[in-house]
Structure 1
């Protein structure tokens, strides 16, 4: 009897100790941008309410490795920076690339001119110059190259640059025009040489090129601005037989991404053709896509198909912007309101109108990035980093919105809510991070998660409802305090050093 009593007492003590042991808490940092006025504002834990939404993080479920996030060095952006005073120029460069800014890690620029250039130009202007003896990047020396150099100076971790041609010089094309037409077969080798010379020319200026897309929007753009057309097989043949071998022969270790247009049904045909055999897989390093097929649908089935066609290759969103709009100056609320339209609002075929409704610009960015990340995209690049109050300069007057808008005449700068939206991803999800799994049951709250090389786990959440929500993160048997995300808000949550803790247990 004495034995039984002693065991009961011990059991009771153990039970009391277990009940009195405080629940393990995860350390978490939270930053919020919201329609209510927060701009990457630190958020503290709150007292739990009646409904707390659990988000279970599953770092053992690993998906794609992240290449990076960023924007594009266009002539339009660089031209505007040249017109600003030195203080505002430095402010913008630091905001995008500095350690206290968005820390952009993956960028894009254009080879030859594009619609967001001040004029039409080519690095190979001399007709019949098959050996490109007169090749020159002089057009970039006063604007794009200084902008890139200044970004390199303030970026602690560095960033990758992907270059895209909108067109070959007209003399190489069947229609002899900047717009539309196709590259003549007799110039395939010369056009491949053009890419190689571009790498060398930029290298001479101290700038490394990480990758290329073969052609911006090879399906065309109704001949509105610089363009050149390929079929999937034509592009694949050019890469297999000309571009890939040329870059290889010249010793250039550079990524080559195909397609570089919208994520609609065409994407499936393109990836099947690009990765059709061993040789094409050798020279194509991945696929680039744009978002203009819809203003809110990120086409998960097509992204999944693109990944399945080449699971060991890159899948990068190479261009996105709120197009067909003139930016709203110093008006944060517009960027949180359902007012913006895109090209498809007016021009999409009737059967596609549902893909182009009015939408909230902040949601457009955040929804798309989260949707892309959750469907194997490893890099996401915005279009122009800087535009003016008109949405240019643009030789075709194809006005668009950028995260940073400037008034060069008054030397004024406006960081729109889109800038902070991009920073929620680019600043915290770093190159080499791996997207991880999670369990989450609230449809109105969009979530993605990744683990950085330093072990920190990053969670990004978007609340599109007007009411706030309360959440709690669970990881490895530990939980965070309750976190409140405001209505119409984007949050980044950081759990530091998780890998270190698990490795030492």
Structure 2
């Protein structure tokens, strides 16, 4: 006799973490939805895009100096929160060569004028703050992390205006400036720290001469890399990445056209670095796609982002979810660009930009300062900004802002070597991206910026499960093995 049995519906085994405006902070969600009219999100693991290099933040002198002022327990808590197994697990970081605006003073590793062979080169300035912070991070990072280093300027004696701000590198110092990069790698290696890559110059288009800067045109930077920096690093045996540009996306097309014009111009470039300051909300997807198509086998990495022109709000989570922040363009942008700089919610800006970048071929995303004080500094120019972690060194207090948890939704769960994969959505009010990790797990990050909850049916092949995302919330959904 033939005995029938009921088929059991296959379900996806998922683990869901949520951060929302109502107070959840990377909390595991255990309640799922049974809604029939859920938004359909279909994961397409065979549709593969870029490999992920990593996510993280920057070791600045300001951040490192603040850590030195905290008690031992709070210092360690922050290091663990960024690099430990129970924290954000940052995998891609940045630091500055010589001083920047988020330094305590102006300084250079090569202060002696006319020192063409850099016999007096020294990273002593970094040994009190930046290097100890990096070493502490290395101690707690199980998988390690990559470091990308960027100069804001050559020492003034190498420049045509003899100033920390603005000006150009004098041609007679091209080889000395290339040697500077080589000396830096060696000095950091002697400290037990490997440098993964360089950007040639932070913001080569300048910053109105406000703080350390040095100007390059696309042609000038390309020629410097092609004829000086690339050959020097190669001859010294330094296997290090070189990323060009390193500024906002609205000028990206013209830079990649120059950098990748031919095999000769592109030989030493391993990719392109970008920032987000051209707009509070615009990702510039067409520019990112153009850059990828111009150099499909090269890196495209976001190397700096922050809530700029703002003093942090102390222990006020609600502010980070509300459209009250303004950026530099709110006051200074020309009329034709004002629409790119509206008031915005800081969490929204991060979540939208990271998802938008990933969905348009960006393979790495680096935040700016990891730690700032209640003023948004220290910063010698008083160029205040916001960081994911704010501290009050006088009272030895630490505040993890909602931005920290937003970053963690990506950095903790999308690991280096992951591959972005395809997905489809039946409602474009939800932003989403998906990546398949080297261990086979799939991380789907979704962002609901609306004022109401949403139900989503997540499908992978014939399997599915329905979840609910709160209003004004970001979720990471980890898809593991299938259960019946």
Tell me which interval the TM-score lies in, with the shorter structure as reference length: over 0.9
Alignment of 1:94-133 (within 5 A): 94-133=80-119
Which blocks of at least 5 consecutive residues in structure 1 are unaligned?
A: 1-8
**1:44–1:483: 8 Å Cα contact kept in structure 2?**
no
Residue number in structure 2 paired with 1:247:
233
**1:108–1:161: 8 Å Cα contact kept in structure 2?**
yes
| Consecutive aligned runs of 4 or more in structure 1 exceeding 6 Å deviation | none
Per the TM alignment, residue 53 of structure 1 is displaced from its structure 2 partner at its CA by: 1.1
SS class of match (1:496) = strand
CA distance in 2, matches of 1:271, 1:429: 27
Per the TM alignment, residue 45 of structure 1 is displaced from its structure 2 partner at its CA by: 3.8
Residue number in structure 2 paired with 1:483:
467
Matched, 1:169 2:178: no
Matched, 1:345 2:335: no
Residue number in structure 2 paired with 1:90:
76
- Please say which of residues 368-377 and 53-62 is displaced more in the overlay: 53-62
CA distance in 2, matches of 1:409, 1:440: 49
Per the TM alignment, residue 50 of structure 1 is displaced from its structure 2 partner at its CA by: 4.3
**Which structure shows the bigger proportion of residues in strand conformation?**
2
Q: 1:497 to 1:434 in 2, by over 3 A?
A: farther
CA distance in 2, matches of 1:116, 1:431: 28
* Correspondence for 2:268 among 261, 277, 283: 283
Residue number in structure 1 paired with 2:415:
430
SS class of match (2:422) = strand
CA distance in 2, matches of 1:303, 1:399: 28
* Correspondence for 1:293 among 278, 303, 316: 278
Q: Deviations over 1:431-461 (max 9, x none)?
A: 0000000111211100000000000000000
CA distance in 2, matches of 1:278, 1:354: 39
Matched, 1:494 2:478: yes
SS class of match (2:13) = coil
CA distance in 2, matches of 1:340, 1:357: 9
CA distance in 1, matches of 2:389, 2:61: 15
SS class of match (1:305) = helix
SS class of match (1:28) = strand
Residue number in structure 1 paired with 2:394:
409
Per the TM alignment, residue 282 of structure 1 is displaced from its structure 2 partner at its CA by: 1.6
Per the TM alignment, residue 410 of structure 1 is displaced from its structure 2 partner at its CA by: 0.2
Q: Alignment length, in residue pairs?
A: 483
Cα RMSD between the aligned structures? 1.1
Per the TM alignment, residue 49 of structure 1 is displaced from its structure 2 partner at its CA by: 2.3
SS class of match (1:450) = strand
* Correspondence for 2:440 among 455, 463, 467: 455
SS class of match (2:309) = coil
* Correspondence for 2:141 among 155, 173, 188: 155
Per the TM alignment, residue 497 of structure 1 is displaced from its structure 2 partner at its CA by: 5.1
**2:19–2:26: 8 Å Cα contact kept in structure 1?**
yes
